[in-house]
Amino acid sequence: MRAHAVTTEHVSVQVSQHDSARQRVKGQFIVLRNDQVKLYPVEIRYSWPSELDLMAQLAGLRLRHRWGGWTRGEFNGASQKHISVYERY
């Protein structure tokens, strides 16, 4: 659970569950305002870089660049995100 905004007019929080075996994250973005509660559901399935590389290869693409973020820093085991650029063979 993570609070995004807490003001005198509203509160917004995010609640999520991570299923690492299925590579899925399921959650709700919840907004509380006066007498209203609004729910914004989210469900994603993520892929590891090696899986993306295989899917790209099967589609006739190869990895051209992989960076650890938008500033083109090194991608390594400590990276929390990546930018991958593929090209046609």
At 33-57, the pLDDT tens digits run 988 999 999 999 999 999 999 999 9
CA dihedral 69, 73, 78, 81 (to 10 degrees): 10
Beta bridge partners of 65: 85
Question: What is the distance of C-alpha 73 from the center of its chain?
Answer: 19
Q: Which percentage of the chain shows pLDDT scores above 90? A: 93
pTM assigned to the model: 0.66
Distance CA 46, CA 82 (A): 12
Domain range list for the chain: 2-45, 49-88
Domain 2-45 has CATH 3.30.460.80: no
Helix ranges restricted to H, the chain: 49-58
pLDDT score, position 67? 98
Q: Find the distance separating the first CA and the last CA of the chain, reported in whole Å.
A: 44
